[in-house]
Amino acid sequence: MSALPASVTGDLIQAVYFAAALLFIIGLKRMSSPKGARGGIIWAGVGMLIAGLVTFLWPGMHNDILILTAIFVGGLAAWWSGKRVPMTAMPQMVALYNGMGGGAAAAIACQELVRGHPFAPAPVVLAVIGALIGAVSFSGSLIAFAKLQGLIKKSLRYRGQQIVNFLVLLATVVVGAWMIALRGDAPMQLVIAFFALALAFGVLVTIPIGGADMPVVISLYNACTGLAVAFEGFVLGNAAMIIAGMVVGAAGTLLTQLMAKAMNRSLANVLFSNFGESAAQGGTIAGSLKPIDAADAGVMIAYAEKVIVVPGYGMAVAQAQHKIWELCQLLIDRGVTVRFAIHPVAGRMPGHMNVLLAEAGVPYDLIGDLDEINAEFDTTDVALIIGANDVVNPVARTDKSSPIYGMPILNADRAKNVIVIKRGQGAGFSGIENALFYLDNTRMLYGDAQKAAAELIQAVKAG
């Protein structure tokens, strides 16, 4: 407990919270650019550190040992998982950590609601809304984690599913309104019923969503977690929670809109349609798959003037980013112009491919997003596709019967030659056959991406 007067201590804490919030904003701003992302994480981390430390000065603060124990255990778990979890598993770790944030906000709301003291009308409304959003984000993120981790291999769908989901949500809202009417003096049984319904709704709304839609789902729950934290910040009168939660919520909302736009689908379509698990195939694809060996593919790219590399989840699975960059360095040394093309929904989470390429040391100025690089495919000698599928599927432009029709894609098919590194002949994660693979200018290099890249390196050196 602080030796300073309570009013002075409170002012000091709020001032430090404000400074921490500024550090959060600066950190998030720097994270918007790959060049500043690492520094942005440090800035935000410092903000979180000082906000956590100054909280111990709060008048009437107690349970210090329990708080410090929780911080130690959580920090140790985060350090261990950060060191041990491979980049291929990063999407599910992000989903899990995001769920923990929503769960923490819901736990704060639960604590306030069961304390048994009267609320003013506004705080109890915010507490209930934050509890609902946080609980849904928690259970929904856990389902997303289980799907990406392979613990849940099939999406559960049944007739009348949306009606059941609506009724569960309606029941949750009714119980929440009842607690609001009681001004926070609700019996324990009512609080338990509310959280049970909210958690169930998070599970029910996420369980039918297929794996191909997980990038949008993860960013949506990220936004929900931020909003929940902001609402609970209002309840506690904590400026740092309010500002940090609003910033995270706004960023998550913008990212969700970006991801949905990149798939040419509304958020409602992502949440309530059946696409993403076993999408129906559109029209019949003409042509045949034409394999190529590494030696011939190596010669093709070695003597090209311009090569655009399009990475996908297959590169992440094979952990081939380092070999791919080694290959590209060889090409650059030969005078070949090399660029990397990133689609917003490539991989299993927003920015997945950017993180992998940054890990391999690829310079940021060689990486272009869809809008920046699409026009360059027309003047490209070879488009090298590494484990990408839907984001380069030309049926999105031509086949109205395809589930991905209208989705903006990378125009890899417009390159003079296309080489696709792929583990096998099966369809991609969404179950849609890729017409790009059957075009006359496309050749298939089958095998693990890391092994194929190593063979291409040897071919380029030999050439």
Please give the CATH number for the structural domain made up of 294-462: 3.40.50.1220
- Copy the structure tokens of residue 411: 């125009």
Please, are residues 423 and 437 in contact by the beta-carbon 8 Å criterion? no
DSSP string, 373-430: HGGGGGG-SEEEEES--GGG-THHHH-TTSTTTT-----GGGSSEEEEEESSSS--TT
C-alpha radius of gyration, the chain, whole number: 25
For 342-364, the pLDDT digits (tens) are: 998 887 777 788 888 988 889 98
Q: Which residues, including other chains, have CB under 8 Å from residue 254's CB and lie 6 or more apart?
A: none
Bridge partners of 385? 310, 420
Q: Torsions phi, psi of 379, nearest 5?
A: -110, 20
User: Considering only 93-102, 347-356, 361-370, 428-437, which range has the smallest mean pLDDT?
Assistant: 428-437
Q: Would residue 296 show up in a list of annotated catalytic residues for this protein?
A: no
Tell me which of 138 and 38 has the higher pLDDT: 138
Provide the percentage of residues in the chain whose pLDDT is more than 90. 40
Residue 277 has pLDDT above 60, yes or no: no
Q: pLDDT at position 374, please?
A: 94
- Copy the structure tokens of residue 315: 């590169």
Query: Of the residues 390, 399, 413, 448, which is catalytic?
Result: 390
pLDDT mean across residues, the chain: 85
Q: pLDDT at position 459, please?
A: 93
The stretch 16-44 carries a mean pLDDT of 85
Of the candidates 19, 44, 20, 18, the one whose C-alpha atom is nearest the C-alpha of residue 32 is: 44
Domain boundaries, the chain: 1-84, 89-278, 294-462
- Copy the structure tokens of residue 352: 């997945």
Cα–Cα distances (Å) from 4 to 8, 11, 57, 256, in that order, read 6, 11, 9, 45
Neighbours of 368 (CB within 10 A): 16
Q: Which residues, including other chains, have CB under 8 Å from residue 115's CB and lie 6 or more apart?
A: 184
- One-letter amino acid at 23 equals L
For 435-445, the pLDDT digits (tens) are: 899 999 999 99
For 139-173, the pLDDT digits (tens) are: 999 999 998 888 887 777 888 888 999 999 999 99
Residue 279 has pLDDT above 70, yes or no: no
- One-letter amino acid at 307 equals V
Q: pLDDT at position 399, please?
A: 82
Of the candidates 388, 391, 382, 418, the one whose C-alpha atom is nearest the C-alpha of residue 287 is: 418
Cα–Cα distance, 217 to 209 (Å, whole number)? 9
Q: pLDDT at position 280, please?
A: 45
DSSP string, 429-445: TT-PPPGGGGSTTEEEE
Bridge partners of 341? 368
Tell me which of 235 and 457 has the higher pLDDT: 457
The stretch 416-440 carries a mean pLDDT of 80
Given pLDDT bands bounded at 50, 70 and 90, which one contains residue 212?
Answer: low
Q: pLDDT at position 350, please?
A: 72
- CA dihedral angle for residue 115, residue 117, residue 121, residue 123, rounded to 10 degrees: -40
Q: pLDDT at position 338, please?
A: 97
- Copy the structure tokens of residue 103: 């769960």
Given pLDDT bands bounded at 50, 70 and 90, which one contains residue 6?
Answer: low
Given pLDDT bands bounded at 50, 70 and 90, which one contains residue 38?
Answer: confident
Q: pLDDT at position 276, please?
A: 47
Neighbours of 263 (CB within 10 A): 26
Cα–Cα distances (Å) from 367 to 31, 338, 357, in that order, read 16, 9, 9
Please, are residues 95 and 350 in contact by the beta-carbon 8 Å criterion? no
End-to-end Cα distance, the chain: 72
The stretch 231-248 carries a mean pLDDT of 86
Cα–Cα distance, 151 to 174 (Å, whole number)? 33
Q: pLDDT at position 439, please?
A: 92
